[in-house]
């Protein structure tokens, strides 16, 4: 398995260790002192920062800095230092926009808030951070999420969308109601022709659909289709995890999600059980997407549960 995927998995586990009570005892935190922040210029004044956890996008310019997502609290100082090292501005990180509530994207909220940044996120991100709850796929992935402390909660929340007018750009966060979670935002940098897709687009194999936090496979596919239809063909795409990508990469991801969902739905229509689908290796044609965390079997279980959860919701709809 590639080093990238392994590194991502460690960061995913670090999220578990920091935020999920159940797993805390079992997982070891990484050695934060060894984590280095790698900065990549994406386009114009937009940069991508990688350390551990979700990719960070940064708009760095004369008005100051806006970042999208903030990885983990122990990395906040290094992230600040990496932004300073660009030598573009001495002004602070004025805003942090969270793409969704997962700990590997919001873990730095407290130190950034304490340093004076204003946290912005969709309503459901604040709700889930505040209440805690369960993240999972309705099956063998089940993680208890502790309520976050007050300083981690976004100060400004929005329902559908919000725009931050800074560095000569209308940086827009747009909510998609049901994909990876129920609080996903995709962030557009229209002047620089860059988009940060949060965990709605990943380059690390099969995705984690957080069904227990309002995630949904069809909602996810619909969100991505809507987004790519309105983006210029040469837009640069920052994924939640993995390298800077393009729209063809996103299309490939959508196709995989559609085809795998279709394959599982056909099996379910034929009355097959989850065990039967596993035995028949129904996802074998997509085995190159199997990751260290979300393996083919875990993804199959997720798709299976998603189909039944969808049906349940439908049956109970008034």
Residues 14 and 130: their CA atoms lie apart, in Å, by 20
What's the closest the beta carbon of residue 91 comes to Zn ion, in angstroms? 29
> Locate tokens 């739905």: which residue?
265
What's the closest the beta carbon of residue 32 comes to Zn ion, in angstroms? 20
> What sign has the CA pseudo-torsion 127, 129, 130, 131?
positive
For Zn ion, give the closer residue by CB, 102 or 236: 102
From 119-127, 160-168, 199-207, 299-307, span contacting Zn ion (CB under 5 A): 199-207
Considering only residues 9, 10, 44, 102, which one is a binding residue for Zn ion as defined by CB under 5 A? 102
What's the closest the beta carbon of residue 239 comes to Zn ion, in angstroms? 11
> Locate tokens 């030598």: which residue?
87
Three-state DSSP class for residue 159: coil
For Zn ion, give the closer residue by CB, 215 or 267: 215
What's the closest the beta carbon of residue 104 comes to Zn ion, in angstroms? 7
Q: Which of residues 222-281 bind Zn ion (CB under 5 A)?
A: none
Our finding on whether 70 is near Zn ion (CB under 5 A) is no
CB-neighbour burial class of residue 261 (10 A; exposed 0-12, middle 13-18, buried 19+): middle
> Locate tokens 């609080």: which residue?
183
Q: Per the structure block, which two tokens stand in for 89?
A: 């501005």
From 101-109, 169-177, 231-239, 265-273, span contacting Zn ion (CB under 5 A): 101-109
For Zn ion, give the closer residue by CB, 79 or 125: 125
Q: Per the structure block, which two tokens stand in for 120?
A: 């912005």
What's the closest the beta carbon of residue 184 comes to Zn ion, in angstroms? 9
For Zn ion, give the closer residue by CB, 45 or 245: 245
What's the closest the beta carbon of residue 229 comes to Zn ion, in angstroms? 24
* Binding footprint of Zn ion, residue count (CB under 5 A): 2
From 126-134, 163-171, 194-202, 214-222, span contacting Zn ion (CB under 5 A): 194-202
Across 183-267, the runs of DSSP E, i.e. the strands, are: 184-189, 194-196, 236-238
Residues 85 and 35: their CA atoms lie apart, in Å, by 17
Considering only residues 70, 169, 184, 199, which one is a binding residue for Zn ion as defined by CB under 5 A? 199
What's the closest the beta carbon of residue 81 comes to Zn ion, in angstroms? 25
Q: Cα 95–101–105 angle (5° rounding)?
A: 65
Residues 227 and 216: their CA atoms lie apart, in Å, by 17
Interface with Zn ion by CB under 5 A: which residues? 102, 199
């Amino acid at each position: 398995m590639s080093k990238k995927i392994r590194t991502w998995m460690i960061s995913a586990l670090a999220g578990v260790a920091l935020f999920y009570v159940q797993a805390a005892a079992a997982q070891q935190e990484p050695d934060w002192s060894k984590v280095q922040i790698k900065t990549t210029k994406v386009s114009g004044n937009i940069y991508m920062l990688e350390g551990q956890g979700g990719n960070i996008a940064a708009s760095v310019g004369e008005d100051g800095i806006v970042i999208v997502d903030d990885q983990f609290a122990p990395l906040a100082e290094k992230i600040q230092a990496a932004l300073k090292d660009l030598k573009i501005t001495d002004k602070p990180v004025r805003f942090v926009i969270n793409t969704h509530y997962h700990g590997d994207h919001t873990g730095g909220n407290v130190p950034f808030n304490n340093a004076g940044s204003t946290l912005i996120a969709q309503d459901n991100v604040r709700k889930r951070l505040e209440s805690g709850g369960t993240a999972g796929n309705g099956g063998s992935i089940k993680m208890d999420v502790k309520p976050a402390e007050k300083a981690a909660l976004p100060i400004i929340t929005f329902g559908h969308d919000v725009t931050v007018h800074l560095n000569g750009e209308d940086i827009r966060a747009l909510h998609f109601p049901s994909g990876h979670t129920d609080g996903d935002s995709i962030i557009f940098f229209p002047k620089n022709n860059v988009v940060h897709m949060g965990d709605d687009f990943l380059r690390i194999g099969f995705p984690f659909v957080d069904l227990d936090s309002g995630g949904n496979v069809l909602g996810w596919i619909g969100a991505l289709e809507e987004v790519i239809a309105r983006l210029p063909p040469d837009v640069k795409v920052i994924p939640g995890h993995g390298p800077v990508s393009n729209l063809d990469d996103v299309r490939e991801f959508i196709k995989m999600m559609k085809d795998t969902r279709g394959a599982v739905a056909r099996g379910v229509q034929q009355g097959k059980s989850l065990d039967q689908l596993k035995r028949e290796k129904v996802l074998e044609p997509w085995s190159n997407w199997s990751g260290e965390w979300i393996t083919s079997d875990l993804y199959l279980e997720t798709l299976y549960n998603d189909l039944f959860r969808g049906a349940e919701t439908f049956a109970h709809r008034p």
